[in-house]
Amino acid sequence: MSTELGNEYIFNGRHVADVPRRLRALEESYDPGTVGRLERLGVGAGWHCLEVGTGAGSVTRWLSDRVGPAGRVLAADLDTSFFTGEGLDNVEVRQLDLRSERPPEGEFDLVHARLVLGHLPERDRVLDALVAALRPGGWLLVEEAEEFPFHGMGDGLHREVVLAALAAMETAGFTAKWGRKLPALFRARGLEDVSAVVEAPIVPGGSSGLEWLRLSIDQLIRGGHPIQVHGRGGYEQWRRKSEDPDTWLVSLPLVAAQGRAARR
């Protein structure tokens, strides 16, 4: 269903009951890479952090522990039902729709978003707001899905299923072709020390990296976005492969782009 703000978030909890498990599998899969990047940025005691699209909250929990009692973390999401921040004194959880609301400006040493902006057709405008939320010298880290590694993979059911799912998601306003643009978009907004990498996890069937992909595609189909798969055995054969520990497949690649606001 579309709204005047663009498309409804396709993985919202209204259609399906698997959302918490999908969010946790996503966290298990990408947290090691994200945490490594946050450590290298130097996130530490006393930092003020903004985590947008906090989901089930693992990154917010890590930030809360890292910044300690002198720091604080604002955890914002359209849907705050999967993370309440209970027991975390330095965390404020705020319901916020990035399509129409802006986070506080000029306040944060770190702004982080993972797998959020790709869902929002207003993503360029949202990026403006995230840059504006940085205090001088503050870091922005944005991690978004990117499909281009799949185009180099030749034929095969896995490539076909993932690209078909991403095409179905595009009709709902999602893109996996924006991550590659992030470094240029960061520079155009005046950020400094900009760099980016692509993380493309190669993981065995049954691992969280494939579980979250499978749960996402199942939810997509059940949410009314069918995917067209012509390869042998079709989607059911792919599901079996994604659970076979002897099969290694590429999970959804992420572009991780970072840059910092100029120090005045």
Ligand X SMILES: C[S@@+](CC[C@H](N)C(=O)[O-])C[C@H]1O[C@@H](n2cnc3c(N)ncnc32)[C@H](O)[C@@H]1O
Contacting positions for ligand X (CB under 6 A): 9, 23, 26-27, 53, 55, 77-79, 96-99, 114-116, 119-120
Closest CB 37 distance from ligand X, rounded Å: 13
Beta carbons of 83 and 77 less than 8 angstroms apart? yes
Interacting residues of 145 by C-beta distance below 8 A, sequence separation 6+ = 115, 118, 166, 176, 179, 252, 253, 254
Quote the least distance from Cβ 52 to ligand X, whole Å: 6
CB of 213 vs ligand X, minimal distance in Å: 12
Q: Which is nearer to ligand X, 122 or 243 (CB)?
A: 122
Ordered alpha helix ranges (H), 171-259: 182-188, 208-222, 234-241
Query: In the bound complex, what is the minimum distance in angstroms from residue 16's beta carbon to ligand X?
Result: 13
Return the number of the residue (78 or 165) whose C-beta is nearest ligand X: 78
Q: Which is nearer to ligand X, 41 or 231 (CB)?
A: 41
Q: Which is nearer to ligand X, 6 or 183 (CB)?
A: 6
Closest residue by beta carbon to ligand X? 55
As a whole number of angstroms, the distance between CA 111 and CA 91 comes to: 14
Pick 164 or 213: Cβ nearer ligand X: 213
d(C-alpha 128, C-alpha 191), whole Å: 11
Show Cβ contacts of residue 175 under 8 Å, excluding neighbours closer than 6 positions. 118, 123
* CB nearer ligand X, residue 80 or residue 90: 80
Q: How far is the CB of 156 from ligand X (least distance, A)?
A: 25
Q: How far is the CB of 231 from ligand X (least distance, A)?
A: 26
CB 260, CB 195: distance < 8 Å: no
Q: Distance between CA 264 and CA 76 in Å, rounded?
A: 27
